[in-house]
Amino acid sequence: MIGKLTGTLLEKNPPEVLLDCHGVGYEVNVPMSTFYNLPAVGERVSLLTQFIVREDAQLLYGFGTATERQAFRELIKISGVGPRTALSILSGMGVGDLAQAITLQEAGRLVKVPGIGKKTAERLLLELKGKLGAEMGTHAQVTSDAQADILQALVALGYNDKEAAAALKALPADVGVSDGIKLALKALAK
Report pLDDT digits (tens) over 96-108.
888 888 888 888 8
- The pTM score is 0.69
Kindly indicate the confidence band of residue 6, based on its pLDDT and cuts at 50, 70 and 90. very high
Q: Please state, in angstroms and rounded to a whole number, the distance separating the CA atoms of residues 162 and 148.
A: 14
Kindly indicate the confidence band of residue 46, based on its pLDDT and cuts at 50, 70 and 90. very high
- Domains of the chain and CATH, by start: 4-63 (2.40.50.140), 66-128 (1.10.150.20), 145-185 (no CATH)
Q: Please state, in angstroms and rounded to a whole number, the distance separating the CA atoms of residues 155 and 96.
A: 17
β-pair partners for 20: 8, 25
Q: 156, 158, 160, 150: which is closest to 184 by C-alpha?
A: 150
- Predicted pLDDT at 148: 76
Give the least confident one: 47-51, 131-135, 181-185: 131-135
Q: How many angstroms separate the Cα of 100 from the Cα of each of 20, 93, 104?
A: 36, 11, 6
pLDDT higher than threshold 50 for residue 33:
yes
User: Quick one: which H or E segment has residue 48?
Assistant: strand 44-53
Q: 82, 77, 86: which is closest to 30 by C-alpha?
A: 86
The number of beta carbons lying within 10 Å of the beta carbon of residue 118 is 11
Per DSSP, the three-state class of 158 is coil
- Predicted pLDDT at 144: 62
Q: Please state, in angstroms and rounded to a whole number, the distance separating the CA atoms of residues 150 and 131.
A: 19
Where do runs of H (alpha helix) occur along 77-176?
83-92, 95-103, 107-111, 118-128, 145-156, 161-169
- Beta-sheet pairing, 58-63 with 44-53: antiparallel
